[in-house]
């Protein structure tokens, strides 16, 4: 259970919503709408007294408990140690004991075997995003927030990531994305932010109706025969 109650700062305005433990969420909105800021508030990177996780104030949680409850995966991979390898990064992603069997399974699942001894710094943007996904599965938080996880992925990798987000490998998921095809396919609940305000919070079916799409995207996107079509 995640709750935010009337949060305000210079970017977000009167933000309130709650998610039950079995609900996943997609966060949509224009560039600069406040999506990453909201993610940082929800996971405590921006401090606030307005967030509750599993009925406990986020502010009062120990660092370990907070890490178990929520994990924020940023849009860009950054690391200070330029020598650390992909496999070592995964070992560090286990919050308590290192689970080598699971690391091997994930390396196989995400086809990262030939990269496992490469320095993380040398990975391509898409490979870094797959590493972040593998890392989040090892971390295994109750809630994982992905901020533009799929931005640099080719179509076949996007499909693999979709399958993982659509599976039970991770518990509760919050996905920030500009990829409406992904948002549509995931069928998660939808939150649409505009200039820091929640303009829509509700079910997938309602958001992806032509009426609501027209309201938020003018005529640039349409649903035709149950497919989204971009009108460039």
Ligand X SMILES: Nc1ncnc2c1ncn2[C@@H]1O[C@H](COP(=O)(O)OP(=O)(O)OP(=O)(O)O)[C@@H](O)[C@H]1O
* Positions that interact with ligand X (CB under 6 A): 11, 29, 31-37
Q: SS3 for 35?
A: helix
| Identity of the residue, 11 or 123, whose beta carbon is nearer to ligand X in the bound complex | 11
Q: Residue 43, Cβ neighbours under 10 Å: how many?
A: 24
> What is the closest distance, in whole angstroms, from the C-beta atom of residue 219 to ligand X in the complex?
21
> What is the closest distance, in whole angstroms, from the C-beta atom of residue 42 to ligand X in the complex?
12
| Identity of the residue, 9 or 117, whose beta carbon is nearer to ligand X in the bound complex | 9
> What is the closest distance, in whole angstroms, from the C-beta atom of residue 52 to ligand X in the complex?
21
| Identity of the residue, 112 or 145, whose beta carbon is nearer to ligand X in the bound complex | 145
> What is the closest distance, in whole angstroms, from the C-beta atom of residue 88 to ligand X in the complex?
29
CA 18-145-12 angle, to 5 degrees, is: 60
> Nearest 10 degrees: CA dihedral of 77, 80, 86, 90?
-80
Distance CA 15, CA 193 (A): 10
What DSSP string runs through 178-215?
Answer: S-HHHHHHH--EEEEEETTEEEEEE-HHHHTSHHHHHH
> What is the closest distance, in whole angstroms, from the C-beta atom of residue 216 to ligand X in the complex?
14
- Contact between 90 and 138 under an 8 Å Cβ cutoff? The reply is yes
| Identity of the residue, 115 or 186, whose beta carbon is nearer to ligand X in the bound complex | 186
Tokens of 176: 């920030």
| Identity of the residue, 33 or 165, whose beta carbon is nearer to ligand X in the bound complex | 33
> What is the closest distance, in whole angstroms, from the C-beta atom of residue 30 to ligand X in the complex?
7
Phi, psi of 72 (to 5 degrees): -105, 120
| Identity of the residue, 32 or 202, whose beta carbon is nearer to ligand X in the bound complex | 32
């Amino acid at each position: 259970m995640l709750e935010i109650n009337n949060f305000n700062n210079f970017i977000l305005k009167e933000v309130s919503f709650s998610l039950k433990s079995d609900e996943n969420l997609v966060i949509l909105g224009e560039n600069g709408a406040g999506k990453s800021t909201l993610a940082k508030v929800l996971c405590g990177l921006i401090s606030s007294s307005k967030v509750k996780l599993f009925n406990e104030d986020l502010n009062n949680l120990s660092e370990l408990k907070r890490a178990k409850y929520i994990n924020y995966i940023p849009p860009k991979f950054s690391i200070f140690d330029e020598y650390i390898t992909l496999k070592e990064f995964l070992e560090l992603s286990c919050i308590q004991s290192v689970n080598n069997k699971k690391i091997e399974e994930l390396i196989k699942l995400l086809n990262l075997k030939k990269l496992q001894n490469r320095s993380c710094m040398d990975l391509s943007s898409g490979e870094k995003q797959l590493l972040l996904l593998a890392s989040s599965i090892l971390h295994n938080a109750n809630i994982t927030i992905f901020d533009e996880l799929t931005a640099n992925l080719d179509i076949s990798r996007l499909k693999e990531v979709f399958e993982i987000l659509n599976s039970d490998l991770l518990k509760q998921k919050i996905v920030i994305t500009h990829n409406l095809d992904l948002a549509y396919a995931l069928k998660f609940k939808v939150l649409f932010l505009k200039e820091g305000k929640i303009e829509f919070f509700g079910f997938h079916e309602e958001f992806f109706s032509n009426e609501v799409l027209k309201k938020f995207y003018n005529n640039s996107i349409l649903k035709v025969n149950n497919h989204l079509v971009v009108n460039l």
